[in-house]
Amino acid sequence: MIALDAKTGLRIPSFGVDGAVDLKQDDDQEIDPLSSEIGIHSTPAIGRNTIVVGAAHKPGGVPTSKTNVKGFVRGYDVRTGKRKWIFHNIPRPGEFGFDTWLNDSWSYTGNTGAWGESSIDEDRGVVYVGVEAPTGDFYGGPRPGNNLFGESLVALDLETGQRKWHYQFVHHGIWDHDNPSPPILANVTIKGKQVPVVAQPSKQAFLYVLNRETGQPVWPIEERPVEKGTVPGEWYSPTQPFPTAPPAYEIQGVDESVLIDYTPELHKEAMDIVKNYKMGPIFTPPVESKAEGPWATLVSSLSGSNWMGGSIDPETGVVYVGSSRGILGISLVPSGTRSDVGYISGRAPGAQGQLTVKGLPLVKPPYSQISAIDLKTGTILWQVPHGDTPDNVRNNPALKGMNIPRTGHGGAAITLVTKTLVIAGEKGTVTQSDGRTGAMLRAYDKATGRDAGAVYMPAQSTGGPMTYMVNGVQYIVIAIGGNINGRPQAQFMAFRLPNNDDARKK
């Protein structure tokens, strides 16, 4: 980690050794500098005089070992680079949450990193950190217990790193429900009283809304019974937290109602496909894959929001969050000699199948959408498909002659909210009306979700739009990437918005 002077761009020599901090040092654990599986994914957060650094790991479906590196969170002095504090996401003996790790599993379990962006409330001196799952993503047999602080939002004192409060969104996670995006901080008037809130979008498509001073839910979050699975050696939490408001902003779980239904024939074929799988609501556990069935557990709960997160209008208290919709199968097989975990992601021989119907997605549209969620009332104001209909849907022979409304496509959108608009780039390309292949930068009326305009981009968006003004002229800049002019490349595109002078010239 390097410190640069913002005015000159020069390295600050007093920051650590030769101006750098080795993040594999001073981490309260032994880390092999060459082979250990740990790094950094997101930009460190800076507040007051503290730099907050999380940790990232490889995807955990097939972990090499149950004894992975732990993803502790650390705070550094912004001037000297010295470590000020460390927070153990996996508690040690005597620390809060230690009793949620049974059979000594705290000592060897790894991960629980904070690979997404953190958010800082400088006035309160608090950093809000979203924590991922422990080792591994879909099987937790070696780590019995609820496993704090896995898949939790943790509020830490910015100066000392002490836990102020936490809320665990998933107990003993086995669904890869990391907290991947920055928590949203806002002051919202609810029932006539201003409430300091933190709202966390999630892969499972719940927007968890808490009082950021106390960690208490703004609307009740109920512990409800969930299904116990059958994978040998697994430990299952009997309940999981369910927010009563806002409602989920994307489908959760898989049943007949979410399957493709453009025609009765396509729906019937979808029903024939899912006979080989286990279906159920959110928190339906993964299965051990069997050739005779079930091949896997079908889930949609990874389709909500990933690192893209959401944005908020501070004047209205409305959150705008993108989501994508898809169905995938998660299944486990004995790890054998590949790992000491016990079970890893995989399919039994003969348990292979495509989750498509005649080249169409198994799930019905919209495949991507934007939701407006009112934090004053805990309700969804509107939802609109984001993105044009993909070519493989628009031109599919099974849909010939049908009028297919805009379905949305690509992954979850990254939204930008302005005084009147919500702006987001499409994350997939289609053939345009003029024959060009590309994507659109779209604007919606933020109050209604109605289309407010769109401009062409030669490739899909790979980041979120940003806006700024120079000499009274507003610009929007967005990162795009893909096959541009016949070769793969990435670039920024800048759009200039018309102003009053432009109108007078017409």
Mean pLDDT across the chain = 93
pLDDT for residue 212 = 98
Question: Is residue 92 pLDDT above 70, yes or no?
Answer: yes
Domain ranges, residue 85: 1-180
DSSP annotation of 267 reads H
Reported as a single tens digit per residue, the pLDDT across 444-495 is 999 999 999 999 999 999 999 999 999 999 999 999 999 888 888 999 999 9
Is 430 part of a structural domain of the chain? Answer: no
pLDDT for residue 483 = 86
pLDDT for residue 218 = 98
Is 382 part of a structural domain of the chain? Answer: no
- Report DSSP letters for 375-416, one per residue: TTTTEEEEEEE-SPPPHHHHT-GGGTT--------SSPPPPE
pLDDT band at 164 (very low <50, low <70, confident <90, very high): very high
Reported as a single tens digit per residue, the pLDDT across 257-308 is 999 999 999 999 999 999 999 999 999 999 999 999 999 999 986 668 889 9
Whole-angstrom Cα distance, residue 330 to residue 61? 9
Whole-angstrom Cα distance, residue 278 to residue 291? 13
Question: Is residue 6 pLDDT above 60, yes or no?
Answer: no
Length of the chain equals 506
Question: Among 36-40, 163-167, 262-266, which stretch is predicted with the lowest mean pLDDT?
Answer: 36-40
Question: What is the four-CA torsion angle of 333, 339, 340, 343, rounded to 10 degrees?
Answer: -20
Q: Are 145 and 80 in contact (CB under 8 A)?
A: no
pLDDT for residue 18 = 56
CATH number of the domain residue 23 falls in: 2.40.10.480
Is 299 part of a structural domain of the chain? Answer: no
Mean pLDDT of 128-136: 97
Report the share of the chain in percent with pLDDT over 90.
87
Reported as a single tens digit per residue, the pLDDT across 54-63 is 999 999 999 9
| Number of domains the chain contains | 1
pLDDT for residue 501 = 60
Whole-angstrom Cα distance, residue 469 to residue 474? 4
Structure tokens, 70: 């732990």
Is 95 part of a structural domain of the chain? Answer: yes
Reported as a single tens digit per residue, the pLDDT across 187-235 is 999 999 999 999 999 999 999 999 999 999 999 999 999 999 999 999 9
DSSP annotation of 484 reads E
In 123-203, the DSSP E strands lie at 126-130, 152-157, 163-168, 184-190, 193-200
pLDDT band at 503 (very low <50, low <70, confident <90, very high): very low
Is 161 part of a structural domain of the chain? Answer: yes
Question: Is residue 323 pLDDT above 80, yes or no?
Answer: yes
Is 484 part of a structural domain of the chain? Answer: no
pLDDT for residue 486 = 82
Is 495 part of a structural domain of the chain? Answer: no
Is 109 part of a structural domain of the chain? Answer: yes
Reported as a single tens digit per residue, the pLDDT across 68-85 is 999 999 999 999 999 999
Whole-angstrom Cα distance, residue 225 to residue 382? 30
